[in-house]
Amino acid sequence: MPMVRPGQVIRIEEEDYAYGVGALTLRVTGLAPHDDPAWIRVTGVEIHWTGGDGPRREVLVRSSAQVSSAADRAGP
């Protein structure tokens, strides 16, 4: 996973995080290592398709994930 900082809004594809359905857009509030180095624990606030804040989320993201900045993607 490329360097991600708290405050950054990222898009994580379904296959790159554990126990999710569909892509996830998240404003990152924290990062922590996981016992398995293949994963990183990411906490944040889910961003709905409308642009509004959703619930707080904690997800395991693959270390190898190619997350993108939400600003990098085109369309809604």
pLDDT in tens, 55-69: 999 999 999 998 888
SS3 for 16? helix
Kindly list the distances between the CA atom of residue 31 and the CA atoms of 25, 42, 73, in Å, as whole numbers in the listed order: 15, 5, 22
Q: Other CB atoms closer than 10 Å to residue 28's CB: what's the count?
A: 17
CA 64 to chain centre: 13
Q: What digits encode the pLDDT tens for the residues 16-71?
A: 999 888 999 999 999 999 999 999 999 999 999 899 999 999 999 999 998 888 65
Model confidence, pTM = 0.83
Cα torsion angle, 37, 8, 3, 66, sign: positive
Largest separation between any pair of C-alpha atoms in the chain: 36
